[in-house]
Amino acid sequence: MKAIVVSEPGGPEKLVLTEVRDPIPGDDEILVSAIAAGVNFIDTYHRSGLYPMDLPFTPGLEGAGTILAVGPGVAAHRPGDVIAWTRAVGSYAEKVVVPCDQAIPLPDNISPSTAAALLLQGITAHYLATDTFPLREGDRCLIHAGAGGVGLLLTQIAKMAGAEVFTTVGSQEKALLSAGAGADHVILYNDTDFKEAVEQITGSRAIDVIYDGVGAATFLKGLDLLRTRGMMVTFGNASGPPPDISPLALAGKGSLFLTRPTMAHYVATRPELLSRTRDLFDWVAEGRLDVRIGAEFALADAAEAHRALEGRSTTGKVLIRP
């Protein structure tokens, strides 16, 4: 079969289409014929070496497809079933081995493409808005990269909770998408200082929570927007890792809370994983959550998919089609 292989850390050119042996599912594993794989910023961190991986490896954590075979000990899934997953390293491939406890059965009304575009970023948006900082009616939140995959989903979930949503985006096209997702205030960060723009609307230090997946370019300035005992949620590094900060600086800015969540700790059990995905599937089926697929690439063009994502030229979800 064909798969993308990374033999050494580096840029997108390190994503090499390679002929490899078909994988064999082991105990409590499932072999899947991939229909679509989701592209996420964490894939670029694995490729670059920011998050080190054992080499060589096939990137990708998320996808959807049809079960080809099951390994010993698998009773809940059968060949022919359609599943999705969010934590199976090696998803940029024609065939993927998925741990049984990570396999998510798809309802009939959710397509594999929708699932591959929804789950990793949707689960992220779900836990950010319901657990990391549980949004309530009237809360004010700032979401950076509001037209990205997480940003569009998080905006919609925040509006379901009754929050007032501020977003930052990089272009007029992205501003329209963010507003269409329900954002109350959309700021073009290339045209204006986002801190000044927010303060013109709210006054000083009036934001309850900032969901920051951008990192270095936005982190420090965002701290000055938070109310006393507000929370900075830094969950990504699209512009590079945020700078180190002293705990005393958080005290001086209003006894702020700072957290760096990661998905593994919010789907630590299978019941929690299925509960979050059930919410997401229900919201999609009810028409309350729109999943935007912004771009699709062939497996051989995985490097171009990474360039587009890192170049901030994408909106919504990027998929790879094995």
Containing structural domain, residue 287:
2-119+264-321
Q: What is the pLDDT of residue 315?
A: 82
The pLDDT-based confidence of 180 (bands split at 50, 70, 90) is very high
Q: What is the pLDDT of residue 260?
A: 97
For residues 109-138, average pLDDT? 97
Distance CA 178, CA 269 (A): 32
Of 64, 109, 110, 1, whose CA–CA distance to 320 is shortest?
64
Pair 271, 253 in one domain: no
Helical ranges in 226-299 per DSSP H: 247-252, 270-285
Q: What is the pLDDT of residue 47?
A: 97
For residues 306-320, average pLDDT? 90
Pair 29, 103 in one domain: yes
Mean pLDDT of the chain: 96
Domain CATH for 7: 3.90.180.10
Pair 106, 177 in one domain: no
DSSP code string of 299-312:
GGGHHHHHHHHHTT
Bridge partner list, 64: 36, 84
Q: What is the pLDDT of residue 312?
A: 79
For residues 139-161, average pLDDT? 97
**pLDDT, tens digit (0-9, with 9 covering 90-100), for 284-307:** 999 999 999 999 999 999 999 999
Core vs surface per residue 56-90: b (16+ CB within 10 A) or e: ebbbbbbbbbebebbbeebeebeeeebbbbbbbbb
Q: How far is CA 295 from the centre of its chain?
A: 15
Q: What is the pLDDT of residue 19?
A: 97
pTM score = 0.92
Q: 286 lies in a domain?
A: yes
Pair 195, 219 in one domain: yes
Among residues 260, 282, 312, the one where a domain terminates is: 260
| Percentage of the chain modeled with pLDDT above 90 | 95
Q: List C-alpha distances in Å: 123 to 89, 267, 280.
A: 17, 9, 8
Q: What is the pLDDT of residue 175?
A: 96
Residue 179 has pLDDT above 90, yes or no: yes
The answer to whether 47 and 15 have CB atoms below 8 angstroms apart is yes
Distance CA 91, CA 289 (A): 25
Q: How many domains does the chain have?
A: 2
For residues 270-295, average pLDDT? 96
Q: What is the pLDDT of residue 188?
A: 97
Domain CATH for 166: 3.40.50.720
The answer to whether 37 and 119 have CB atoms below 8 angstroms apart is no
Of 181, 309, 179, whose CA–CA distance to 238 is shortest?
309
Residue 238 has pLDDT above 90, yes or no: no
- The residues near 271 (Cβ < 8 Å, ≥ 6 apart) are none
Q: What is the pLDDT of residue 13?
A: 98
Among residues 215, 242, 260, the one where a domain terminates is: 260
**pLDDT, tens digit (0-9, with 9 covering 90-100), for 29-83:** 999 999 999 999 899 999 999 999 999 999 999 999 999 999 999 998 999 999 9
Q: What is the pLDDT of residue 271?
A: 96
- The residues near 130 (Cβ < 8 Å, ≥ 6 apart) are 157, 161
Among residues 218, 241, 260, the one where a domain terminates is: 260
Q: What is the pLDDT of residue 314?
A: 82
Pair 227, 151 in one domain: yes
For residues 112-128, average pLDDT? 97
Q: What are phi and psi of 82, to 5 degrees?
A: -105, 125
Of 204, 153, 198, 213, whose CA–CA distance to 180 is shortest?
153
Pair 161, 211 in one domain: yes
For residues 142-155, average pLDDT? 96
